[in-house]
């Protein structure tokens, strides 16, 4: 098929040419005396993306899922009680991983399309007068449903209950795209991955630990080997890794961080908000709804669009790919066949995103969804034009 594939899944995202070029390097000696000139600035700038001055950032050759395991195994022990909420596929998978690692996981089912219920959280923490709950596992941006939870509100609930539980955040599809303040919100373990807001290929688990989380490692008894941060704590300060790192990925990360910091994090967040609102304007013009049930839950990195009951969303996704070379995200688990997802994070602007909206319109019309042709494109363009 002529032309390029239009990638609008919520990760992996489009990789800028400058990152691809930065990664196109010859192999080099990762024990050389000049290698720290690459590593030290990368780890220092990574802290700026997490917005932490007191925390420590790590880059593991792994995935965001491994990041969950890094956070848990380096700070907790088998049998420790953790609290979480299940409101999408990725919050579900984190809960499942914690169970498999031997934790006592208490979780509450929340309707898919909503996020962390702060009143319930605060009340549950107040009930835990013996402080049996050692950590909260909170999914910041639930990619399956396009729902973003209020992390500042989670911190307020912890403080209101005067509870010492550590605060862990899955920020895989939020960090480097949505506002994320590790120090200000008192987050102890933050987990992300290279393939979403960082605009890189999958392959790096990007994790940050607070001083409290680092101290918890001393008493944590979960089994760990390759994912032990102790080896990084020994090697990283000198600018090295405890094993052979992926040097192309590190060069790509250096360029990714440069792009993000040159744009400015507040500008990155504002750009994502504005582009996402254009997509939401398009969805409203189509007469459709989002899986996210209220505006307070709307995600600025991915929108899950609900199709009419007599339509299988997978047909829309297949048509978009096979006929128009457009990749959309599918519905997962409980929302399979009910939604398609438009990823709007990373390296994109108005004209790139409007191509996705146009392709979605054609695929929906081809599958009998009764929308007015061009209505979503017009609504998005008008919003972006007025807010440029």
The secondary structure of 290-336 as a DSSP string is ESS-SGGGB-SSEEEEEPPTTS-HHHHHHHHHHHH-EEEEEP-GGGT
Which positions ≥6 away from 384 have C-beta within 8 Å?
274, 275, 278, 350
Q: Are residues 270 and 254 in the same domain?
A: no
- Rounded mean pLDDT of 315-325? 98
Residue 375 lies in a domain: yes
Largest CA distance in the chain: 64
- Point out the domain boundary residue: 262, 294, 325: 262
CATH code where residue 327 lies: 3.90.1150.10
- For the stretch 132-144, pLDDT in tens is 999 999 999 999 9
CA distances from 223 to 11, 228, 259, 360 (A): 30, 9, 37, 46
Residue where a domain stops, chosen among 203, 230, 262: 262
Claim to verify: residue 49 and residue 73 sit in the same structural domain: yes
> Does the residue 35 lie in any domain?
yes
Q: Considering the entire predicted model, what is its pTM?
A: 0.97
DSSP state of 298: B
Is 83 in the same domain as 121?
A: yes
Flag whether 236 is in a domain. yes
Residue 1 lies inside a defined structural domain of this protein? no
On whether residue 345 sits in a domain, the answer given is: yes
Rounded CA separation 161/142 (Å): 25
For residues 258 and 283, state if they share a domain. no
Q: How many domains does the structure of the chain reveal?
A: 2
Q: Are residues 194 and 341 in the same domain?
A: no
Residues 199 and 279 in one domain: no
Q: Verify that 167 and 283 share a domain, yes or no.
A: no
Same domain, 300 and 242: no
C-alpha to C-alpha distance for 313 and 336, rounded to whole angstroms: 8
Which domain range does residue 360 map to?
6-12+264-387
Residue in the block written with tokens 């398609």: 340
Chain segment 72-109, per-residue pLDDT in tens: 999 999 999 999 999 999 999 999 999 999 999 999 99
Q: Is residue 190 part of a domain?
A: yes
Question: In this structure, is residue 285 part of a structural domain?
Answer: yes
**Tokens 């969303």, located at residue:** 313
Task: Please tell me the predicted confidence (pLDDT) of residue 1.
Answer: 74
Measured between alpha carbons, how far is 146 from 293 in angstroms, rounded to an integer? 10
**What are the pLDDT digits (tens) for 165-223?**
999 999 999 999 999 999 999 999 999 999 999 999 999 999 999 999 999 999 999 99
pLDDT at 358: 98
Where among 225, 244, 262 does a domain terminate? 262
Beta-sheet strands, E only, within 48-118: 56-60, 81-86, 104-109
pLDDT bracket for residue 2 (50, 70, 90): confident
């Amino acid at each position: 098929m002529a032309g390029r594939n239009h990638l609008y899944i919520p990760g992996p995202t489009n990789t800028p040419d400058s990152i691809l070029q930065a990664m196109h390097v010859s192999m080099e000696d990762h024990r050389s005396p000049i290698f720290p000139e690459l590593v030290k600035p990368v780890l220092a700038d990574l802290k700026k993306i997490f917005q932490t001055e007191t925390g420590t950032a790590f880059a593991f050759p792994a995935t965001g899922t491994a990041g969950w395991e890094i956070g848990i195994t380096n700070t907790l022990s088998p049998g420790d009680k953790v609290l979480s909420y299940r409101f999408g596929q990725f919050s579900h998978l984190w809960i499942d991983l914690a169970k498999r690692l031997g934790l006592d996981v208490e979780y509450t089912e929340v309707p898919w399309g909503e996020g962390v219920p702060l009143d319930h959280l605060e009340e549950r923490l107040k009930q835990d007068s013996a402080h049996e709950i050692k950590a909260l596992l909170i999914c910041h941006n639930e990619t399956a449903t396009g729902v973003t939870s209020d992390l500042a509100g989670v911190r307020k609930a912890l403080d209101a209950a005067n509870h010492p539980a550590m605060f862990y955040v899955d920020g895989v599809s939020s960090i480097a795209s949505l506002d994320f303040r590790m120090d200000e919100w008192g987050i102890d373990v933050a987990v992300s991955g290279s393939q979403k807001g960082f605009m890189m290929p999958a392959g790096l688990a990007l994790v940050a630990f607070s001083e409290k989380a680092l101290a918890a490692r001393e008493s944590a008894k979960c089994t760990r080997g390759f994912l032990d941060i102790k080896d990084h704590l020994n090697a990283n300060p000198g600018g090295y890794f405890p094993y052979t790192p992926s040097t192309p990925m590190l060069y790509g990360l250096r360029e990714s961080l440069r792009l993000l910091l040159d744009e400015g994090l507040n500008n990155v967040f504002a750009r994502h908000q504005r582009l996402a609102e254009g997509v939401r304007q398009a969805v409203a013009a189509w007469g459709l709804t989002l899986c996210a049930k209220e505006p307070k839950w709307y995600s600025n990195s991915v929108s899950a669009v609900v199709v009419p009951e007599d339509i299988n969303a997978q047909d829309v996704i297949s048509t978009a790919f096979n006929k128009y070379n457009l990749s959309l995200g599918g519905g997962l688990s409980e929302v399979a066949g009910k939604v398609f997802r438009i990823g709007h994070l990373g390296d994109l602007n108005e004209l790139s995103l409007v191509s996705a909206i146009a392709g979605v319109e054609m695929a929906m019309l081809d599958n009998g969804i009764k929308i007015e042709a061009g209505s979503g494109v017009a609504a998005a363009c008008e919003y972006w034009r007025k807010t440029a």
